[in-house]
Amino acid sequence: MEIKVVKRIMEANEQHAEVVRRRLRESGVVALNLISAPGSGKTSLIEAAIRELKGRVRIGVIEGDPDTTRDAERIARLDVPVVQINTEGGCHLEATMVLRALEEIEVDNLQLLFIENVGNLVCPVVFDLGETYRVAVVSAAEGHDKPAKYPALFRTAQVTVLNKIDLMPYLDFDEEQFTADVRRLNPEIPILRVSCRTGEGVSEWTEWLLQRL
Amino acid sequence: MEIKVVKRIMEANEQHAEVVRRRLRESGVVALNLISAPGSGKTSLIEAAIRELKGRVRIGVIEGDPDTTRDAERIARLDVPVVQINTEGGCHLEATMVLRALEEIEVDNLQLLFIENVGNLVCPVVFDLGETYRVAVVSAAEGHDKPAKYPALFRTAQVTVLNKIDLMPYLDFDEEQFTADVRRLNPEIPILRVSCRTGEGVSEWTEWLLQRL
């Protein structure tokens, strides 16, 4: 019975994801589903992109969080439309939540939509949100073994962002191993090296975004 | 129907957790359930404790991982009994998995048992494993906002380890805010400041462990 219920949840999610995908296509919006562990810097990556692209690209943000509205408040300060999805303890976003948020955020007015998933390397990976691209984010401080330990994310993403590279000198991070593990799972995937703190690599991140539009 | 199934899963877990708790009590073993985000340094904290306490305390380790045996291999190098639970993509351990692992690890021969949960700040929190103590681990690199964003973990833990404090000078980590948020959720909880890399605070961590025996 458990298995049947899980199957039904996943099937319902697939259907909702298709509706999201169609809705985005009709509005001509590119949507990014950012997935990472807690504290990898997803919100900072979104903030950095908004700062660089504001005025040039119409950006909106959907923030998924298990409890608080902190990240949504950070984004709102940058004066772009933002909708908070509170998952009430839930460990991932689902397509039906995004579908409701699309109406609130007036998706027809946007070109680029960031969807910040709940910080988690396992659960969000199996839920298609109807996004155009999936972005895997890792902080260098988490260690180079994350792709090998959480392969499903890196296999299904279209880009990997290695964030907080300013910490590299103070870590035992084997970047060669990290890159080899990512490439083994996903041979063609771009790996962007970024530090939102120093600004290094931010222009490569925004360049990658602009090329998707 | 989904709600009923979830309720049944949780009730079954509670029953298994009680069996684990009884089994630990009979063997006189103190078990710690380590919960954190991926890459916070749970395995390093266990390694550090083993290095300090080996010869004095009979230690065993249960390693929970969604996919690989990497962490179990790291522990096995220190020549203590270790059992790997592969959750096959699952985002948390359950008491029934621990119950099976207890037999494999010959729990009667141990005094201290580390249970390293799957790296995740949401799902493991609601599954009682029958542990004696719950340990919340945060890496300073994840940011000071983690207790506020994931309150359930800090509310239910008996100790908080703030790890990777050697990175503090290179982070915008507001430790006063972090401590205030933890204390608001759990007024009496000890907060141990540790760097497994430099060794700072490791003796406070092992001292806390010894006082539990």
Predicted confidence (pLDDT) per residue in B110-149, tens digit: 999 999 999 999 999 999 999 999 999 999 999 999 999 9
Q: What is the pLDDT of residue B120?
A: 94
CATH code for the domain of B53: 3.40.50.300
Residue-number span of the structural domain to which A195 is assigned: 2-212
Is this prediction's pTM over 0.90? yes
The Cα–Cα gap between B12 and A1 comes to 15
The Cα–Cα gap between B95 and B19 comes to 9
The letter for the amino acid at A22 is R
pLDDT mean by block of 10 residues, chain A; 213 residues: 70 95 97 97 98 96 88 94 91 95 94 97 95 98 95 97 98 97 97 98 98 97
The Cα–Cα gap between A38 and A41 comes to 8
The Cα–Cα gap between A182 and A204 comes to 19
The Cα–Cα gap between B137 and B157 comes to 10
Of A5, A148, A170, the CB nearest to B70: A148
Task: State the total domains in chain B.
Answer: 1
- Using an 8 Å CB-CB cutoff, list residues of chain B that contact chain A: 1-2, 5, 9, 37-40, 65-68, 70, 89-91, 118-123, 126, 139, 141-143, 145-146, 148-152, 164, 166-167, 170-172, 197
Give the residue ranges of chain B where pLDDT is below 70.
Answer: 1-6
Whether residue A145 and residue B65 make contact (CB cut-off 8 A), yes or no, is no
Chain A residues whose CB is inside 8 A of the B164 CB are: 141
The Cα–Cα gap between A149 and B67 comes to 6
Token pair for A172: 């035992």
**A155 CB-side CA count, 13 A:** 9
The Cα–Cα gap between A212 and A37 comes to 24
Of B125, B121, B144, B161, whose CA–CA distance to B36 is shortest?
B121
